[in-house]
Amino acid sequence: MSDLKRSPRRIPASAAKPAPPEAAAKAASGRAPRGRAPKPVDRATLVEVFRRLRDLNPEPKGELEYTNPYTLLVAVALSAQATDVGVNKATRNLFPVADTPQKMLALGEEGLRERIHTLNFFNTKAKNVIAFSKRLVEEFGGEVPNSIAILETFPGVGRKTASVVANIAFGDPRIAVDTHIFRVANRIPLVVTRTPLETQEALEAVVPDAFRLHAHHWLILHGRYLCKARRPECWRCPIADLCRYPEKTPAPVAGKRVSA
């Protein structure tokens, strides 16, 4: 018998089997996925999800305060990496003196910074607001255009901000996707996606016309107050029986403190 030991076989990197596309499941649950990513709910279940959300809140409203399409655009732009509560505190001192792009330009970047200094990245946000206010005055007569394609070219305005403005200010049935909506949509799952943009496109393709206008608000409020990131309150969720999230949170025991 030979004393030589056989060298271990080396497998070329090109021959390795690729990992399954389960990023969405991992992102939605906050944990490594077990097995294959789930399939979205069927159409009948999707319709029932939105029917229940509509019945509980027929006319949902966003929580950012604004007075016209321009102040809405400013508020949504300021809300990046900030809470609606924090933005509202700042804009209550801003909008009474600058509720049009002309007045914002008169206030100036320094004056704007002073009023929004409590927000994250206030220097960059002030620069962006002044820049798009200048464009609004010079190119659009001071009016906010009803066009996502144009709004996305403004500094500090991405797809989500443009979609929120189009939805709320102009009644365009867009479904802007933030972290709450991405989480909720993939947990139920209404869709199985990897990015917010994918999620918006997928939701706008499957949500029926009757629900699309308010879908953004229903999902964001559901994610903010019930289907939370760390501890979803499944025991009081109106769609718990329709949701296939595998790690539902049980009802808290009476007298026992529950962490957020």
- CB neighbour list of residue 132: distance below 8 Å, 6 or more residues apart: 73, 77, 101, 154, 155, 156, 157
Reading the block at residue 138, the tokens are 């010079």
Percent of the chain with pLDDT over 70: 83
* Side-chain half-sphere CA neighbours of 67 within 13 A: 9
Q: With CA atoms as reference, report the closest residue to 216 among 49, 46, 60.
A: 60
- Number of domains, the chain: 2
Reading the block at residue 9, the tokens are 């076989």
pLDDT tens digits along 184-201: 999 999 999 999 999 999
Work out the average pLDDT over 26-39: 54
- Calpha distance 174→194 (Å, rounded): 19
* Domain co-membership, 81 together with 165: yes
Packed helices 179-187 and 196-206: angle between N→C axes, nearest 10 degrees: 60
Q: Is residue 189 part of a domain?
A: yes
* Domain co-membership, 98 together with 164: yes
Work out the average pLDDT over 144-156: 97
Residue 3 among the catalytic residues? no
Annotated ligand binding at 227? The verdict is yes
Which of these three, 170, 194, 215, is where a domain ends? 170
Q: Indicate the DSSP class of residue 235.
A: G
Residue 217 is part of which domain span?
A: 23-57+178-236
* Domain co-membership, 80 together with 155: yes
What CATH number should be reported for the domain holding residue 214?
A: 1.10.1670
Flag whether pLDDT at 29 surpasses 60. no
Q: Is residue 258 part of a domain?
A: no
Q: Is residue 17 part of a domain?
A: no
Q: Between 107 and 21, where is the model more confident?
A: 107
* Domain co-membership, 126 together with 198: no
What is the pLDDT, as a whole number, of residue 257? Answer: 60
Residue 42 among the catalytic residues? no
Q: Is residue 14 part of a domain?
A: no
Flag whether pLDDT at 21 surpasses 90. no
What is the pLDDT, as a whole number, of residue 253? Answer: 82
* Domain co-membership, 214 together with 163: no
Q: Is residue 251 part of a domain?
A: no
* Domain co-membership, 217 together with 142: no
The active-site residue, picked from 17, 125, 172, 178, is 178
**Residue 254 — very low, low, confident or very high, per pLDDT cuts 50/70/90?**
confident
What is the pLDDT, as a whole number, of residue 260? Answer: 55
Reading the block at residue 192, the tokens are 């199985």
Which of these three, 116, 146, 170, is where a domain ends? 170
Work out the average pLDDT over 25-45: 65
Q: With CA atoms as reference, report the closest residue to 217 among 203, 205, 231, 206.
A: 203
Pick the range with the lowest mean pLDDT from 6-20, 59-73, 109-123: 6-20
- Calpha distance 82→119 (Å, rounded): 6
pLDDT tens digits along 98-107: 999 999 999 9
The active-site residue, picked from 5, 55, 125, 160, is 160
What is the pLDDT, as a whole number, of residue 256? Answer: 61
* Domain co-membership, 39 together with 86: no
Buried b (16+ CB within 10 A) or exposed e, 15-48: eeeeeeebbbbebbbeeebeeebbebbeeebbee
Give the gyration radius of the chain's Cα atoms.
Answer: 23
Q: Is residue 127 part of a domain?
A: yes
Q: Is residue 128 part of a domain?
A: yes
Question: Exposed (0-12), middle (13-18) or buried (19+): which is 164, by Cβ within 10 Å?
Answer: buried
Q: Is residue 184 part of a domain?
A: yes
Flag whether pLDDT at 14 surpasses 50. no
* Domain co-membership, 182 together with 163: no
- C-beta of residue 64 within 8 angstroms of C-beta of residue 83: no
What CATH number should be reported for the domain holding residue 73?
A: 1.10.340.30
* Domain co-membership, 142 together with 183: no
User: Does a cis peptide bond (omega within 30 degrees of 0) precede residue 196?
Assistant: no
* Domain co-membership, 50 together with 74: no
Q: Indicate the DSSP class of residue 119.
A: S
* Domain co-membership, 230 together with 191: yes
Annotated ligand binding at 234? The verdict is yes
Which of these three, 139, 170, 201, is where a domain ends? 170
